[in-house]
Structure 1
Amino acid sequence: MYRKVVVLFVLAGLALSVPSDTYGPPAHHQTYKEEPQPYQYQYAVQDEYAGTDFGQTEESDGQTVKGSYTVQLPDGRKQTVTYVADHYGGYKAEVTYYGEAQYPHEYGPPITFKPQSYHEPAYKPEPSYNPAPSYTPEPSYH
């Protein structure tokens, strides 16, 4: 009985001595932090057929990020969010709306698109020529 208790304590001690995060960096690992780099970008998407209209601009001096993004809402208004973010003040945003919300009294049929089958082409290709056989088979005699 005494041996079982000793073995139990030894196994518990070994289990507790194993690090819990074996995939983490070693304790002596020195982390490298890159200096912040200034950047600037923008993009916009506008597809009148699908009703898609959105975009974003953003720039940073390496310490503070400033930007805005715009999206066309389903009710017809355009929403713009202008923001500033840094490590001291956090994320601060101002939201504005342009236009009047539109709620039609009558709704038409929904716009739907038939999904394209990926097992067959969307068109039926037809051969443009009929090649002649390149040889004539010899008759076989049995």
Structure 2
Amino acid sequence: MVSKIVLSVAIVALAVAVQGGYVPAVPAYHAAPAYHAAPAYHAPAEPVYPDAHPAYSFEYSITDAHTGDSKSQHETRDGDVVKGTYSLVEPDGSKRTVEYTADDHNGFNAIVHKEAGAHPAAYAPAPKVYAAPAYAAPAYAAPAYHAPAYHH
């Protein structure tokens, strides 16, 4: 199609030139830019860790007779399976124990147990007693008063 247009313009220009008229400039034909496909996307490769089988076990426990705080936790992991339990004493004196499991197939599951307990004695530190600071009022001299003088 483009070559027919260029050829038509050239024929018209030649006819005008032969008749001695003005010859318009023939528009330059430029080929369309070459099409380049976008580079293919390559996702980064996942790192391979041949010994990456997660496994651990930990446990801790805290009991503070002074404040009544008591809590503990135990957890194990073997591959993608996690099992554990934790417990703590609530402010009302009851004990909450949570047993949980987590894996890729069943997700996270927890069973909560609550045991009523005696309300622990409230912790109240002994009040601190401070001696009142010694205070002495500063001594000030009264300002001298001078009555205004009136002149008649």
Q: TM-score normalized by structure 1?
A: 0.50
Q: How many positions carry a matched residue from both structures? A: 85
Structure 2: 5+ residue runs without aligned partners? Answer: 1-40, 128-152
Query: Hey, what does 2:108 align to over in structure 1?
Result: 91
Q: CA deviation at 1:100?
A: 3.8
Q: Percent identity?
A: 29
Query: Hey, what does 1:111 align to over in structure 2?
Result: 124
Structure 1: 5+ residue runs without aligned partners? Answer: 1-25, 115-142
Flag as ranges the 4+ runs of structure 1 deviating above 4 A: 101-104
- The alignment yields a C-alpha RMSD, in angstroms, of 3.0
Query: Hey, what does 1:9 align to over in structure 2?
Result: none
Contact 2:73 2:85 in 1 (8 A): yes
Cα distance per residue 1:61-102 (max 9 Å; x no partner): 112100000011010111000001001100000000122464
Residue 46 and residue 102 in structure 1: after superposition, are their counterparts in 2 closer, same or farther (change >3 A)? closer
Contact 2:93 2:118 in 1 (8 A): yes
Superposed counterparts of 1:1-142, under 5 Å = 28-32=43-47, 34=49, 35-100=52-117, 102=119, 111=124
Where 1:75 maps in the other structure, the secondary structure is coil
Q: CA deviation at 1:50?
A: 1.7
